[in-house]
Structure 1
Amino acid sequence: MHTDWTTTPVTADLLRGALDVERTEHGVLPHRLPAWARAQCADGQLAMAEAQPSGVRLVFRTRATAVELDTLRTKRVYVGAPPRPDGVYELLVDGHLAGQGSVTGGNIMTIDMANGTAETQPGPPGTVRFTGLSDALKDVEIWLPHNETTQLGALRTDAPVEPARDPGRRVWLHHGSSISHGSDAAGPTTIWPALAASLGGVELVNLGLAGSALLDPFTARTMRDTPADLISVKIGINLVNADLMRLRAFTPAVHGFLDTIREGHPTTPLLVVSPILCPIHEDTPGPCAPDFTGLSAGRLRFVAMGDPAERAVGKLTLNVIRDELARIVEQRAAEDPNLHYLDGRDLYGDADSAELPLPDQLHPDAATHRRIGERFARLAFAAHGAFSDRSG
């Protein structure tokens, strides 16, 4: 047992990947949207998604051989379903995975998908511990659970902490759906954007927002105002899931979203990514609904509720969206040479679906996250890609 601990307050300057930090009675709560943006939308799904710290990590330098972090999690429980796995914390030392852990206790949010209700029962904080580290001076990162709201309390180490060095890497700002958020990835460093960022040698700011990639103007303004060297937007699946808009609204909304980003980043490489293959929505509109018939056996699947014939009246499907995104990018690229398009089926397509089908018909599993991340890195960061380091 260590007795000579150094306690370091968790502050914004220790965090990467968070755009706002809220002080709470238990410490600090990282947010991935600023307070002004959160105030413009009362949607509970968005509130939950942006407060889950996907891509957010604590970063510092130390000679510590032991590290402890007190946190208060909010764990989700779905009525009628088996327990969800605990959120995973991952420790990186000089960029390499050196430990994993979880916390106990915490708040319990019970979600009844059939009735659309949620209740939260308060619980006690927990502590994640990492021990047996080298006493050499090293860069330490603690990646927070990508899918579990996490309030950060005390950071304790058995040696002093100093600020991390500037990594000198380009910053990649990415926006997308639950797939970009992390869905069913194994841990926070293997969600596909984190894996792609590691392979591409860039710093990730992840605005993957489960269920909430809906061309919201406040998200575009957030991206406009966030420093970045590379930007990508993955658009489509949530618009179909939610049956949110018709083609008439979609096209100008995409233009407006891109216009807003360009106000703050006029020449930054900007990559528009269309949806990966999702067979239930390729030609069938939304809305998308959960199928509860296998829930008690641990199987939740999603079904498309729309009618393919409704495409004639402007309902969106993934193929409609891909065609329109490709057309919009081609049109705009005539005057914007730093705008690029990537067909999501190049990340996960028919052959991948046959080998690694989406378990719930909507979200990729851990192996598929790895494949998508590796493919994105190969396509985007390669010498010919949208994110190639042309200055190098």
Structure 2
Amino acid sequence: MSALIATDLAKAYRRYEKPIDSLKELIFRRQYHEQFWALKGVSFRCEPGEVLGVVGDNGAGKSSLLKLLAGTMQPTQGELTVNGRVSAILELGSGFHPDFSGLGNIHLGCAMLGLSAEQIAAKVDDIIDFSELADFINQPVKTYSSGMFVRLAFSVVTSVDPDILIVDEALSVGDQHFQKKSMDRMMEFKTQGKALVFCSHSLYHVKELCKRAIWLDKGVIQAQGESGEVIDQYNDHVRMQNRLSVASPVKSVDKEKADKSQLTAYLTSATLLRPKRVEDDCVVYQTGDTFQVKVMAQKQNSLAIEDVHIGIIIKRNDGVQCFGVSTVLDGVALFSGDEQNELGVVYEIPDLNLLSGHYSLEIWLIDTTSAHVYDSMLSCCDFKVRQSGTEVGLTYLQHQWSAPA
């Protein structure tokens, strides 16, 4: 039996231009608001013993979704099935009374989670020990730092042995020592067959901790599935948003031949060879695959083949140049093609060590000085790379570990 089943969940809020409009709407029975849909058609499952990650930009609808799962809000549309006791840490210190002491808020928080007075009394000492706030437990929580708030809140919500634990980004404000304790406790829940929903901007933690993840954007699930793949897609999206400048891909070079025929030399095609996988019209490689691209060009009779060279730059979709080289630098001559004055080359990387990302090629037709450019394709041959591990960065570097001397 699934711990959580969300079916077409949607949440709408009323947005008023002025605060008084809500009162006018009540009095005059007329609509003075517009509806804002924070969530639309969200469907997923979370199984017992599973850690489900939730990622997305600010304003994507993550907090609204977690509030629905925690039961603090009701959906506007759709159905949510919850099997088991739910405990959640959402906004910092939510549910705490600022004038109550830490001890008073422990009793209040546990009571709100459905524990009896006897059950609370049996758990108080453990909660205080885990929070490490014994010296401050009788002080009003309004005097607590943000980290102390989190210690107390997390200790309370995880003390009730929930079947489903929902943790928002609030946990990130704790110090490293308490973050480690919290992660260990969450992993204990996982091994006990509890379900966890973990929302964080720390994509590393989501990738490491979560078996599956969902990516929300503008209230809609853009991707869900294996966490590594979802994080890769989200990273592609973020890099695209942050790109400096990415030229439009060249759709068809053949149509440009007539215009380019007056050039001394020009590119005619660039083709990725023998791709293993294609998804959504985009070639997908695994880190370590063989990468090949065939580049063809045409020159006029007056130009010697020795004075025509090709340069290729691999570029990520945020504009970062990953690697660039040319036949000039490597001392390689182009090869004659089947047609008169046709020339070309196959560029091969035996082990593509790029890590997950969305990439394209810049291709330059240049002379032997590399200073004169005959022709170029500034963004072509789009491809993606996916990795099996959780290494971070741009490229995988061969390495080893050894004992210190």
TM-score of the two chains, using structure 1 as the length reference: 0.26
Q: Considering fraction of residues, name the structure with more strand.
A: 2
TM-score of the two chains, using structure 2 as the length reference: 0.25
Q: Which has the larger radius of gyration?
A: 2
